[in-house]
Amino acid sequence: MKKSFNFLFMLLFLVMPAFAQKMYNGLPVIQATTKVADYKIGKELVKVNWNIMPELVPDILQVPVHGQQEKVIFYTNLDSIAFDVKPGDKYLFYVALNGKDYALTELQGFGFQALPFDEVQAHSDYEFAYEQNINNVFLNALRGKYQLDEVVKGAANDTEKALRMVNWVHKQWKHNGSNEPSRPDALTILKEVKEGKQFRCVEYGVVATSCLNSIGLPARVMGLKTKDVETTTSGAKHVLLEVFLPDLQKWVMLDGQFDVMPVLHNVPLNAVEFQQAIANNYDELEIRSLSGASKTQYVNWVYPYLYYFDVRFDNREGMNIERETIKGKSSLMLVPAGAKNPKVFQVKYPMKRFLYTNSPADLYQSPEINTLQMTERLSANTF
């Protein structure tokens, strides 16, 4: 009898939390006394990554779902709550901070879809200029001051050179999304890093691009923007870079903030190929990183930004370059077929510098051909 009583007591103890789930405004509530939480998506635990902010109503966590559904567990220092999240569905709950401030939290499940693009080059007149580093004072100063030849010394190929260089840039400072340098060039940024400053994704892109250009690998800064770039008020943009690897004769994406290069079947990918691989070949997709970046965490974080892609037409390097334009515009934006050409950034900032295309072929022309064509135009003053 005593044994049966003990078993019944233990059973009640185990199931009691399920019946004792507190509610607020008709939604479940979990408790917290610290403002930082963890969450687990599938098998991947993301620690100290979520700030509990009652002032955001709701505070939204985008949950990537690679299959039919994903198990998500949200942890505070005192409590937890779990959901089986499906693509397109929303899940609401409250986090009661110190028992009084209620943070409405929303999990939004999203699936992965390959974006549609036009396969044929649409604008043969969209030409680009890339740095060749022929006696470039700025790049040679950067290369010598930071001994960049030593960074890539002994590299077996261009892929390894690019991986080493983006890793070197990644290690120079910790990301800080609130700081900007006094001037937006690599020498100034690295000088101010030595003084203790930390910078944004933009600066990782700028510095890595210049470092690669300095050793003869043509590179360009690339902006990524979310689908809701016109309507959201924050977080609509991420900046990284692409480098052209001569031995592979292709453009390859690099992210200095996270120290990553996407690779599929041993072939490094450009940004658009990366977006397609996430949707179509996730299991085979590889994230190469000399600092060990997590594939799951990086893909889940960057995927929403892989919607609009933009680069400058004139990618030459120097301190005071007067950059050339095409039809009065300085940059080209790749837009998915059927999507809107965005004209406003985060509700209130007009985007006036872009021409638009639906064709990746316009974006991924050979830098050797483009640089020659633009150089001829500049020499003839006809550009």
Q: Are residues 184 and 80 in the same domain?
A: no
CB 200 within 8 Å of CB 175: yes
Residue 27 confidence (pLDDT): 96
Q: Based on the domain organization, do 293 and 320 belong to the same domain?
A: yes
Is residue 258 domain-shared with residue 220, that is, in the same domain?
A: yes
In a domain? residue 4: no
Residues 77 and 158 reside in one and the same domain: no
Specify if 8 maps to a domain: no
**Cα separations (Å) of 122 from 118, 223, 357?**
8, 21, 7
The SS3 of residue 183 is coil
Handedness of CA 244, 249, 250, 255 (dihedral sign): negative
Q: Classify burial at 88, counting beta carbons within 10 Å of its beta carbon; exposed 0-12, middle 13-18, buried 19 or more.
A: exposed
Asked if residue 219 and residue 171 are part of one domain, the reply reads: yes
Is the Cβ–Cβ distance between 103 and 60 less than 8 Å? no
Q: Are residues 278 and 175 in the same domain?
A: yes
| CA–CA separation, 226 and 340 (whole Å) | 12
**Residues 267 and 338 grouped into a single domain:** yes
Residues 287 and 321 in one domain: yes
Residues 201 and 310 both lie in one domain = yes
**Amino acid 107: pLDDT:** 95
Rounded to 10°, the helix 137-145/201-214 angle is 100
CA distance 368 to 216: 12
- pLDDT per position in the chain (383 positions), as tens? 444 445 444 444 444 444 456 899 999 999 999 999 999 998 888 888 899 999 999 999 988 888 789 999 999 999 999 999 999 999 999 999 999 999 999 999 988 999 999 988 888 889 999 998 889 999 999 999 999 999 999 999 999 999 999 999 999 999 999 999 999 999 999 999 999 999 999 999 999 999 999 999 999 999 999 999 999 999 999 999 999 999 999 999 999 999 999 999 999 999 999 999 999 999 899 999 999 999 988 998 999 999 999 999 999 998 888 899 999 999 999 999 999 999 999 999 999 999 999 999 999 999 976 555 555 555 544 43
Q: Collect all residues with Cβ–Cβ distance below 8 Å to 213 and sequence separation of at least 6.
A: 131, 133, 139, 219, 317
Q: According to the model, what pLDDT value does residue 210 have?
A: 98
Which helix (H) or strand (E) segment holds residue 261: the answer is strand 261-264
Domain boundary among 46, 81, 110: 110
**Half-sphere exposure for 272 (CA within 13 Å, toward CB):** 22
- Going by C-alpha positions, the residue among 357, 379, 383, 375 that lies closest to residue 129 is 375
pTM comes to 0.81
Strand partners, 310: 223, 333
Q: Are residues 104 and 229 in the same domain?
A: no
How many other C-beta atoms can be found within 10 angstroms of the C-beta atom of residue 267? 14
pLDDT score, position 14 = 44
Burial degree of 102 (CB within 10 A; 0-12, 13-18, 19+): middle
Residue 288: strand, helix, or coil: strand
Residues 282 and 350 reside in one and the same domain: yes
Quote the pLDDT of residue 12: 44
Q: Which residues pair with 51 in a beta bridge?
A: 36
Does the residue 59 lie in any domain? yes
Euclidean distance between CA atoms 99 and 33, whole angstroms: 8
| Domain boundaries, position 153 | 129-380
Distances in whole angstroms, Cα of residue 177 to Cα of each of 167, 196, 266, 313:
19, 15, 33, 26
Instruction: Tell me 350's DSSP state.
Output: E
In a domain, 14, yes or no: no
Are 18 and 32 contacting, i.e. CB atoms less than 8 angstroms apart? no
Q: What angle do CA 66, 67, 70 make, to 5 degrees?
A: 80
**Does residue 92 lie within any of the structural domains?**
yes
Helix/strand/coil for 357: strand
| Total of domains in the chain | 2
